[in-house]
Structure 1
Amino acid sequence: MRSWWRVALGTICLLIGLWLVLDPFASMTVLLLSVVVGLALLGLGDLLGQDAGPRGLSTVAGLLWLAAAVAVLAWPGATVSVIAWLTGIVVVLQGAIAVVAGLRGRTPQRVSSVVLGVALLLIGTVALLWPDITIFVVALLLGGWLVVRGVSLLWRGLVRPSPAGAAPAGVGRAGVGPAGAGSTRAARNDQPRPPGRLRRLGTTAVAVLALVVAVLLTGVSAYLHSSKPTPDGFYAAPGSTAGQAPGTLLRTEPFTRDVPSDARAWRILYTTTRDEGITAVASAIVVIGRRAPAGPRPVIAWAHGTTGYAEDCAPSLVAHPFAAGATPALHEVVDNGWVMVATDYIGLGTQGPQPYLIGQGEARSVLDAVRAAHRMRELALADETVVWGHSQGGHAALWTGIIAPRYAPDVDIVGIAALAPASNLPALVSTVDTVTGGSIFASFVVQAYADTYPDVRFDDVVRPAARVQVREMAQRCLSGPEVYVSVVDALLLDKSIFRTDPTTGVIGRRLSANVPSGPIDAPLLIAQGASDTLVLPAAQDEYVQRRCAAGGRVDYRVYAGRDHVGLVAADSPLVPDLLRWTQDRLDGRPARSTCG
């Protein structure tokens, strides 16, 4: 390659490489464009510079990189998925080529070639295991590689290597004889000297560093994959459940994970129903204090906040079941002698889909958990039940109050406490993916609605460039370390995941249908954090105003300085208010209303 070509190509490689390394969280559009340019540069470097080893292997490597770049440009509608898989595959193939080149080589750099090849094989394999962030991994990989390639090309272009030694006058390099003899004419075009010691050391250092990074990535990937809990046989329905009444208790077993020392707990499996009236099964945790007074005890039906959408995100499965769904005042519930019945919802632990922010499905899970707990031989439960719910669970709590008189008249609901509820769904979904990490919650909504409603098509709702990320985010839980992969996804997404305004069209109509706007006969408390950036106070105000205007009675309380999770934290002023409000409901005292 001519020197000026080396300088030009080396400069471009260096600039693009530094951009990718120093700013890997650039917008998705810029990142994709940079990676495509990087693929093309690597291909040109191999084809023109013959840097990948033997000529044939170098040509193959160059063609692979160029093919990857061309393939991405050929399918603009599937850019993310194409570049994720294609570049991951090319990285694996490039690693294999580097290993072969090293094993076939006879230069001092053959060991570093093999080491680098093994590193690329590992990195490419890890990238393919995480298709939604393959583009990010490849960006860092290409960035580092382009920096090294750029420096190498600039060095060779600016510092022209000298011939491999000057022969004395009258002595040709091929042997003794006249300097102009035929054998020495060819010697005038001798190849440059083999790489110097400094360059060999630099190449080896880069290869070793790449291998260290690859091993670390492989270890992290293995940890993330192994850390996911898997539903065991407890969550499988025992034979056919068709025709069994909702709330039938199917299975119980003691539960000890994170249970207060002064309490006993069980996980239970019970029947419930889907929207189509089809029998389904769900699981729950039931907790009671060891020193609870004798006699039937009041029930707190807890509807947890968002833990994820996939089956392995059930609170009863994860390491910290009560922290996962932001359970408030568990110790106080135990101390007061109340019994907490905490559903996982259909589709968490048990077979999905989960009715995420789909009101009636969530509410039936809550009500049937209470019915099933009443059938436990280990407990004596009173009829009085107060429903608590936070975030997604607040939405479930509101719907529980709406459908209870018709669906479960045998469950005596004496109060509904909805804490930062996802009540105003159109307003929530229209803003949720504009806040940091909000696209993770948006992915749960889209996947749940697409899985539940035949008229909601995933590809109609999600823009093409975000589909891979959204599908993968929807399968990860919020409580496990894998959530950090979703955070990377959320940072890489430079704009809304939605193809069109989600408050319009089919999904907009479905969201509106799941707003908990029906009448609630039981006393209703709605609590909201004034600093909540996920469920916005203004949207909650609007929901409460509409409920009041419809003739409902609402005790609406706003807590200054409290964000979404901080509202239900142990030190929140809501906690003592919630406990007093609950005791008043159990004592039959009149409930106040803040409606005008």
Structure 2
Amino acid sequence: MSLDATAEGVGWATEPTRTEHHRPGRPLLPENDPFYVPPTGFAATAPGTLLRSRKVKLGAMGLVPQKITAWQLLYRSNDLNGTPDATVTTVMLPAGADPAKPLHLLSYQCAIDAVTSRAMPSHSLQRGAKFVGAAPQLEFLLIAGALARGWAVSIPDHEGTEGHWGAPREPGYRVLDGIRAALDFEPLGLARDTKVGIWGYSGGGLATSWAAEMAPEYAPELDIVGAALGSPVGDPGSTFLRLNGTAFAGLPALVIAGLRRVYPDLDRVIRQHSSMAGQSLMKAIESMSTIEAIRKFDKYDMGDFIDIPFADLLALPEVVHVIDDIQVGLIKPAAPLFVVQSVNDQIISVDDVDGQVNRYQAAGAHVTYIRDRISGHLTMHPISTPVTLKWLDDRFAGKPLPADSTTTVLSSTLSPSAVLGLLEMGWVAAKVALGRSF
């Protein structure tokens, strides 16, 4: 039962009364919404405790109503330093789900890749949300493929309520605690031993990596049967350096905005060495979506906005500590892994993902790794969705694992089953766009 359960013990806590004026038909921003404020005493509860719930209406791109039963769950979790905090996951049931039939649960981690609350899935997936460039709105077209397979889905705000984009470990805590909350949420009808899959791409793949790495120690009771990591960054520090000054310079700028909220010493160093223009840019990016930041920070070099050489800034102990701390791939996941990556990715280097996979394999993790020659970063996600869903489906079904392997292919679509999967995905996406049941 949730912390805010009714005195009779038969109902779930409802949304707190909204007193702030807002435009009809649009959801409140999380920072203005009392639903996101945890109740007094929540810190004394166990991680994953369900604190509050409410039904929500979803809209494709915030506009097209979706015939999906969905709720938001506020639950207790931990930040990077183990301090109790609370965040929200959006949980969904496919249309016509049979409450008597056991369901599988997929936790899907969106590529939030921003620090503004407008980009969080709990806000941007709601009907009436108006925020162009929020990645979760685009990813919902792919998430629908999981719902169409009859799976329950959890989509956590894995950056928390403060937008900790790029932080290590804590995205894993929030993913795993969101799963715990979903399993305890009675309307979903999930058992404690429900089979769970986790999946994400790009920034969501990084969050899924952290969840897979944290799970054995943080949430060993969860039956995580597989983790699908799409272009999971591999080496965040390397990615930051490589993208600075390029057409994708907005991405490392967003990471800085997020990490400043997590590492006080980093924030102090940046404030100390940033020019007035640099401070203004950092302030402006806090309200931008991923796409907007990429567009506005095109070719920006962070070295132009500090008072010491960029290499000297990177050599400061406070910065070195952060770069070392955010490295993924150093902890062995217990669940089998499925990794996909474009060889010619313009944003995430295949060498960095190769390194992450090699570290997992050296530690004894089971990894099926597919490197795709034709796709790019943006096209790899939809192209790889059919094979990813098939791999997850096989894990839910308890089928034998494929060989632990690294394979480079011309395209992951070059098989009859993959082509059929793409056609099915297109059909489901069309239904999403039209607001039809799927």
The TM-score range, normalised by the shorter chain, is 0.7 to 0.9
**Alignment match of 1:345 (pick from 141, 146, 158):** 158
Are 2:348 and 1:540 equivalent residues in the alignment?
Answer: no
Matched letter for residue 237 of structure 1: P
Are 2:135 and 1:330 equivalent residues in the alignment?
Answer: no
Structure number having the greater helix percentage: 1
Are 2:44 and 1:243 equivalent residues in the alignment?
Answer: yes
**Alignment match of 2:106 (pick from 300, 325, 329):** 300
Q: CA RMSD in A?
A: 2.8
Contact map agreement 1:299 1:384 (CA 8 A) in 2: yes
Does 1 or 2 have the higher relative contact order (CA < 8 Å, sep 6+)? 2
**Alignment match of 1:313 (pick from 92, 110, 119):** 119
How far, CA to CA, are the matches of 1:357 and 1:542 in structure 2?
18
Q: Which residue of 1 aligns with 2:263?
A: 453
Instruction: Give the CA deviation at 1:453.
Output: 1.8
Alignment of 1:26-425 (within 5 A): 230-231=29-30, 232-258=33-59, 261-293=66-98, 294-318=100-124, 319=129, 323-324=136-137, 326-327=139-140, 329-347=142-160, 350=161, 352=162, 354-382=163-191, 383-425=194-236
Going from structure 1 to structure 2, the CA distance change for 1:503 and 1:400 (only over 3 Å counts) comes to: farther
Going from structure 1 to structure 2, the CA distance change for 1:267 and 1:494 (only over 3 Å counts) comes to: closer
Going from structure 1 to structure 2, the CA distance change for 1:235 and 1:437 (only over 3 Å counts) comes to: same
Contact map agreement 2:76 2:84 (CA 8 A) in 1: yes
How far, CA to CA, are the matches of 1:364 and 1:287 in structure 2?
20
Contact map agreement 2:172 2:211 (CA 8 A) in 1: yes
Q: Which residue of 1 aligns with 2:283?
A: 472
Going from structure 1 to structure 2, the CA distance change for 1:233 and 1:413 (only over 3 Å counts) comes to: same
Contact map agreement 1:269 1:281 (CA 8 A) in 2: yes
Aligned residues: 359
Contact map agreement 1:306 1:391 (CA 8 A) in 2: no
Contact map agreement 1:310 1:475 (CA 8 A) in 2: yes
Going from structure 1 to structure 2, the CA distance change for 1:262 and 1:228 (only over 3 Å counts) comes to: closer
Unpaired runs of at least 5, structure 2: 1-25, 408-438
Residue 385 of structure 1: SS of its match in structure 2?
Answer: strand
Contact map agreement 1:264 1:290 (CA 8 A) in 2: yes
Are 2:341 and 1:528 equivalent residues in the alignment?
Answer: yes
How far, CA to CA, are the matches of 1:519 and 1:359 in structure 2?
15
1:433-479 CA distance string (max 9 Å, x none): 232132x2212222322221233235448642652344124312326
How far, CA to CA, are the matches of 2:286 and 2:213 in structure 1?
30
Going from structure 1 to structure 2, the CA distance change for 1:594 and 1:465 (only over 3 Å counts) comes to: farther
Residue 385 of structure 2: SS of its match in structure 1?
Answer: helix
How far, CA to CA, are the matches of 2:187 and 2:341 in structure 1?
36
Matched letter for residue 522 of structure 1: A
**Alignment match of 1:510 (pick from 317, 322, 326):** 322
Residue 355 of structure 2: SS of its match in structure 1?
Answer: helix
Going from structure 1 to structure 2, the CA distance change for 1:489 and 1:400 (only over 3 Å counts) comes to: closer
How far, CA to CA, are the matches of 1:583 and 1:435 in structure 2?
38
Q: Which residue of 2 aligns with 1:25?
A: none
1:468-518 CA distance string (max 9 Å, x none): 3441243123268xx27x733445658666753376432233222222221
**Whose radius of gyration is greater, 1 or 2?**
1
Instruction: Give the CA deviation at 1:328.
Output: 5.9
Matched letter for residue 211 of structure 2: T
Q: Which residue of 2 aligns with 1:567?
A: 380
Q: Which residue of 2 aligns with 1:73?
A: none
Contact map agreement 1:306 1:325 (CA 8 A) in 2: no
Matched letter for residue 258 of structure 1: G
Going from structure 1 to structure 2, the CA distance change for 1:240 and 1:490 (only over 3 Å counts) comes to: farther
Going from structure 1 to structure 2, the CA distance change for 1:496 and 1:381 (only over 3 Å counts) comes to: farther
Residue 565 of structure 1: SS of its match in structure 2?
Answer: helix
How far, CA to CA, are the matches of 1:543 and 1:322 in structure 2?
24
How far, CA to CA, are the matches of 2:264 and 2:172 in structure 1?
21
